[in-house]
Amino acid sequence: MSSDSPQIALPLLLPLSRSELDRAAHLRGDDSALNEMWQRGKIIELLGDRFRCSGNSLEFLSGSSLSSTNEEAERYFLGLDKSGTPYFVLHKSTEITEFPKEYESLRTIGKSLNSLEIGAAVHALAIAQWHDAHRRCAKCGAKTRSTMGGAVRKCEVCESDHHPRTDPAVIVLVKDKADRILLGRQKVWPAKRFSTFAGFVEPGESFESTVLREVSEECGGTVENMRYLGSQPWPFPASLMIAFEATISNPDSVKADGQEIEEIIWLNRNDLKSKVASEELLLPPRISVARAMIEAWYGADARKDLVGSETWRN
């Protein structure tokens, strides 16, 4: 989003939706401009899915101190800040599991980054992981190469262009008419970890239809009304979370599906506060849409009252 883009008011302030970079797509096809910008740009170094950091912030390297070509790494253009400074990511694939101490996951540092850093980091991670997964042409199987500043991969044989794709998923805060919320626990999650309901949009399906289907499938709830709350990229590896709040008409008959969801629980605000304080219930991380939805429902004291361990899925 450009720094002078109109502001869009939404009910939720979603952590990973912040950005201060203009993606400047018109510059992607100009190799000479990209080479010139690289020399004066700020570079994020990404090793696998880990960012080179200084403390809890990204460490921006100088483009003039780095080679613009590297046989073991690829560069992707991220955009321009409001002063016109260009930003790139230099990505090197790796299969190592033990990273040097200066490299951190976005899951670890995300909540500490400012709007410029988080926007750049989310874009960098998402595009790098897409490139890693598309080294071969989906049509003929030949090798592909990065072009258009990293916005496209082109097949070296049939010359097909391949563009990044994002998988849309809805995430739903289920409520009843008494303003209680329903949270569920997946089997694959750490013990005591509860969250909102979510699922991927299937081919030919609208967001609204996905909300109806997912709530019905996971807890047997019948949605009688829903409200759009906002959206947030989720680059783990390539999702876009579309957030809804939904009121169901049958709160007394809901039950966990027993397949994906093994337990559900109705909570009012006092219930949630006490269970989080006693660690009977663990909430999702603060950079997640689910946590933002829960805290928005809870109210102004959420950051003070809902203090506990953050949990990621295994």
Residue 187 structure tokens: 């089997």
The pTM assigned to this predicted structure is: 0.90
pLDDT tens digit sequence for 280-296: 999 999 999 999 999 99
**Angle, vertex CA 230, rays to CA 227 and CA 232, nearest 5:** 145
Q: In the prediction, which pLDDT does 9 show?
A: 47
Residue 92 structure tokens: 């090197």
Q: In the prediction, which pLDDT does 97 show?
A: 86
Residue 175 structure tokens: 């409520």
Report the CATH architecture of 15-133.
Alpha-Beta Complex (3.90)
Please state, in angstroms and rounded to a whole number, the distance separating the CA atoms of residues 13 and 1.
16
pLDDT tens digit sequence for 71-117: 679 999 999 999 999 999 999 999 888 999 999 999 999 999 999 99
Fold match between domain 15-133 and domain 167-305: yes
Task: List Cα–Cα distances, 20 to 11, 14, 180, in angstroms.
Answer: 20, 14, 36
Sequence ranges of the domains in the chain: 15-133, 135-164, 167-305
Task: List Cα–Cα distances, 114 to 13, 16, 118, 150, 275, in angstroms.
Answer: 14, 10, 6, 24, 31
Confidence of residue 1 (pLDDT cuts 50, 70, 90): very low
Indicate the class that CATH gives domain 167-305. Answer: alpha beta
Q: In the prediction, which pLDDT does 247 show?
A: 98
On whether the CB atoms of residues 114 and 121 are closer than 8 A, the answer is no
User: b/e per residue, 229-266, with b = 16+ CB within 10 A?
Assistant: bbbbbbbbebbbbbbbbbbbeebeebebeeeebeebbb
What is the per-residue DSSP string for 276-302?
Answer: HHTTSSBBPPTTSHHHHHHHHHH-TTH
pLDDT tens digit sequence for 120-146: 999 999 999 999 999 999 999 999 999
